[in-house]
Every structure is written in C-alpha cells, then in structure tokens.
C-alpha cells in the first residue's frame, strides 16, 4: 500500500524512475481513476498524471475530487505534486524551481469540497470547514527544499501561487493585479487540489517549475508550446527532485495536516 503519491503536472506524464510498475483503476464516488504504482528504493509510490497522458484534460475539466479520493482510498498519506507556472517575480526565472508556500484561488467553476452536506459521500453527510492558513505541508516542503539543496538545483524556498481558471493565459491587467496582491507565480491547477487533500487529512506539497514570464512581463506571445518545451528539457531534473525528496520525508507525520478535521465539523 503506497503511503506517498506523486501527481505530475504539465510535462510530467510518466513515472519513469519507478520500478515494477503496475496499473490500477480505483472506483470513487466521483468516477474511476487510473493510477500507476511502482517502487523506488524499496518504497511503494503511486503516480498520477493530472492532465492524463499526453495532456488530454484541460485544467478546468480535471476531476480533482476523483483524483484525490482515489489516492486516499489507496492509503496515501503524502502527496508531492508538480506544476508549470508563469513568473510574476523577476527573481524567479524560467527553469527555476519554486517550493510553494502560499496560494490565492481565482478559479470559478470547480468542485471545491468533499463536504457538501447531503451530497457528501462521507458517512454522516456532514459539513466541514478546514483550516487552510498554511496550504502546503511543512514536512513535505522541507523535504523538497533539502532535495533541491542536495542536487544543487536553482530553487526558491517560498512562493505564492495564484490559481486561475484557464485554459486561456492571463491578460496584462490580470497579471498586474495579481502582482499587487502578492503573487509570485501563476498557474491553473493548484486549486482545489491542495484544499481537497487537506480535507482528507493528507499532506500535500508542490514544486512549481517556471516555464516563462507572465503576460505583460514576457516580451513575446505566450504559448503552450514554450511550456511543453521547457518542461521536456527539465523533466529528468523534476523527477530526480521528487524522488530525492522521498528519503527526507519522515515516516511518522508530526504536521498539522493529519488533524485537519479536528474542530472543523462543529461536532
């Protein structure tokens, strides 16, 4: 039973560094999910391609609830994820890694919670309001930072991610507004993924890979092609960073993530 999962974002579609890979289909209240499970240095790891293999699912149509529920059903406690981002911060250059510590949600049409009262699949059909002050697990963030240091990669230990609906890129005015609000990078997939993991008391952290400067900062037209090309160049480094982080993840969870539902239900 895997205790750790990796959710691969744009450009990270296969678990190439895992051995003895098998494919599993998990039935959830939100649909069936395909997960690959393999081994890395004796540790069983689950892998999921967020956009499907070959980037067939756009960010606003990802079945986030099914994905996170499936990992929970498999017994996963810790989730490491990747995300391709545009930079609003000139210090965060294309090719840099950013270990995210905060996020701002500007999405509009997604399913944000497992706790919809009567629509909840949980026994008791309860409503919950989880604390999300620190959206990313401190233990997983520390593991990613330690791995980046060890590998000598250019990384930033903190960064605020603004999540937009997509699938279009942002306007110049939107980027200007996000920068005023304190965003460092912009993407389309961290919400509601991070919040759903917290609702199931799973640890979640994400390393963002800067693929370009955002609209109005970049001097050229934004294209998905440049995102794919940079991610292809850095794909092996991304996978190495994730796998190197695994040895720094404590087996016993001492972070607040495991107690997210305490006091959240009003019971």
* Structural domains in the chain plus CATH codes: 4-254 (3.40.50.1580)
What three-state secondary structure class fits 41?
coil
Report the C-alpha gap between 34 and 80 in whole angstroms. Answer: 17
Q: What is the pLDDT of residue 15?
A: 64
Q: What is the pLDDT of residue 264?
A: 80
Report the C-alpha gap between 144 and 159 in whole angstroms. Answer: 13
Instruction: Say if CB 8 and CB 49 are below 8 A apart.
Output: yes
Length of the chain: 267
CA-closest candidate to residue 159, choices 208, 211, 227, 230: 208
Q: List Cα–Cα distances, 230 to 10, 94, 96, 175, 220, in angstroms.
A: 10, 8, 11, 21, 15
Report the C-alpha gap between 133 and 125 in whole angstroms. Answer: 25
Helix, strand, coil percentages in the chain from 3-state DSSP, rounded to 5: 30, 25, 45
Per-residue pLDDT of the chain (267 residues; tens, 9 = 90+): 899 999 986 656 566 678 888 999 999 999 999 999 999 888 899 999 887 676 678 899 999 999 999 999 999 999 999 999 999 999 999 999 999 999 999 999 999 999 987 666 666 567 889 999 999 999 999 999 999 999 999 999 999 999 999 899 999 999 999 999 999 999 999 999 999 999 999 999 999 999 889 988 876 676 767 766 776 777 788 888 999 999 999 999 999 999 999 988 755
Report the C-alpha gap between 115 and 132 in whole angstroms. Answer: 15
Q: What is the pLDDT of residue 128?
A: 86
Q: What is the pLDDT of residue 151?
A: 96
Q: What is the pLDDT of residue 9?
A: 66
Report the C-alpha gap between 190 and 187 in whole angstroms. Answer: 7
Q: What is the pLDDT of residue 184?
A: 98
For 26-63, write each residue's pLDDT tens digit.
999 999 999 999 998 888 999 998 876 766 788 999 99
CA-closest candidate to residue 180, choices 157, 162, 155, 206: 162
> Is the bond preceding residue 192 a cis peptide, omega within 30 degrees?
yes
Q: What is the pLDDT of residue 114?
A: 93
Q: Which of 56-66 are b and which e, b meaning 16 or more Cβ less than 10 Å from the residue's Cβ?
A: eeebeebbbbb
Q: What is the pLDDT of residue 55?
A: 66
Conformational region of residue 52, where left means phi above 0, alpha means psi within -120 to 50, and beta covers everything else: left
């Amino acid at each position: 039973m895997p205790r750790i999962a990796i959710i691969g974002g744009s450009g990270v579609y296969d678990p190439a560094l895992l051995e003895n890979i098998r494919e599993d289909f998990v039935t959830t209240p939100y649909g069936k999910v395909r997960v690959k499970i393999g081994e890395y240095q004796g540790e069983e790891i689950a892998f999921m391609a967020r956009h499907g293999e070959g980037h067939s699912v756009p960010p606003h149509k990802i079945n986030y609830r099914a994905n996170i529920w499936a990992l929970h059903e498999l017994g996963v406690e810790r989730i490491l994820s990747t995300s391709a981002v545009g930079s609003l911060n000139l210090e965060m250059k294309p090719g840099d890694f950013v270990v995210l510590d905060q996020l701002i949600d500007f999405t509009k049409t997604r399913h944000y919670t497992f706790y919809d009262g009567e629509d909840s699949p949980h026994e008791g059909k309860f409503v919950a309001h989880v604390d999300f002050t620190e959206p990313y697990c401190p233990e997983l963030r520390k593991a990613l930072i330690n791995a980046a240091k060890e590998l000598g990669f250019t990384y930033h230990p903190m960064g605020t991610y603004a999540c937009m609906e997509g699938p279009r890129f942002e306007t110049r005015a939107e980027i200007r507004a996000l920068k005023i609000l304190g965003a460092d990078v912009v993407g389309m997939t961290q919400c509601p993924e991070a919040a759903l993991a917290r609702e199931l008391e799973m640890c979640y952290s994400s390393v963002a890979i800067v693929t370009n400067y955002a609209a109005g900062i970049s001097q050229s037209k934004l294209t998905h092609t440049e995102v794919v090309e940079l991610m292809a160049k850095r794909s092996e480094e991304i996978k190495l960073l994730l796998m190197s982080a695994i040895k720094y993840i404590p087996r016993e969870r001492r972070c607040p993530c495991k107690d997210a539902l305490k006091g959240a239900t009003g019971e």
